[in-house]
């Protein structure tokens, strides 16, 4: 492949379109969550991921797993956890079987805020996708995204 190869150019254009779609969606959700719930997209994502933990085998996530799930570095995730802990939305505790392990749970206050923010997030996502679908370069990506089904989720 050369720099002027049509396949490479198509890939680059596709990547730019995907990046544009992501940016528009995230910006719209960010503005909406901040305005209505004083939450950033990352804060909402962290609360959502942590709220899905359970007490069964492998039910609690280690910080690296949390970082991967919210697409942040471990240090950025730790700072985010600290910020939400300071707001009373999360709590940390030592793992009972491995004293080096620290787990994080969503507090009742955090669960209440997440429950209030979830419909806002979902509506903002729908609005952003509907707006993006009006643009010919983004419409195919919106259709693909809408067709995706995550295994194990309804």
* 22 within a domain of the structure (yes/no): yes
User: Count of domains in the chain?
Assistant: 1
Angstrom CA distances, 42 to 20, 109, 122, stand at 18, 18, 15
* 56 within a domain of the structure (yes/no): yes
**Segments in the chain forming alpha helices (H):** 6-37, 41-51, 63-70, 74-86, 108-132, 139-147
Nearest to 80 by CA among 55, 48, 58, 109: 48
Residue 96 confidence class, pLDDT cut points 50, 70, 90: confident
Q: Is the pLDDT of residue 153 over 70?
A: no
- Check which CATH number belongs to the domain holding 44 and give it: 1.10.10.10
* Angle at which helices 108-132 and 6-37 cross, to 10°: 130
* 152 within a domain of the structure (yes/no): no
Asked whether the beta carbons of 26 and 45 are under 8 A apart, the reply is no
Q: What is the pLDDT of residues 51-69, one digit of tens each?
A: 999 877 778 888 889 999 9
* 1 within a domain of the structure (yes/no): no
Distance (Å, whole) CA 92 – CA 62: 11
Cα 137 to the chain's mean position, in Å?
Answer: 24
Q: State which residues form the domain around 50.
A: 9-147
pTM, full prediction = 0.86
């Amino acid at each position: 492949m050369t720099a002027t190869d049509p396949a490479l150019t198509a890939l680059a254009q596709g990547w730019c379109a995907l990046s544009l779609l992501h940016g528009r969606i995230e910006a719209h959700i960010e503005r909406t969550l901040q305005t209505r719930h004083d939450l950033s997209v990352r804060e909402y994502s962290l609360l959502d991921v942590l709220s899905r933990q359970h007490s069964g085998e492998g039910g609690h996530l280690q910080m690296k797993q949390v970082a991967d799930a919210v697409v942040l570095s471990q240090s950025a995730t730790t700072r985010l956890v600290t910020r939400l802990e300071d707001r009373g939305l999360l709590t940390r505790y030592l793992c009972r079987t491995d004293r080096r392990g620290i787990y994080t749970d969503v507090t009742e206050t955090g669960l209440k805020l997440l429950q209030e923010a979830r419909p806002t997030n979902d509506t903002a996502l729908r609005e952003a996708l509907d707006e993006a679908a009006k643009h010919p370069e983004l419409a195919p990506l919106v259709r693909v995204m809408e067709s995706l089904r995550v295994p194990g989720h309804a």
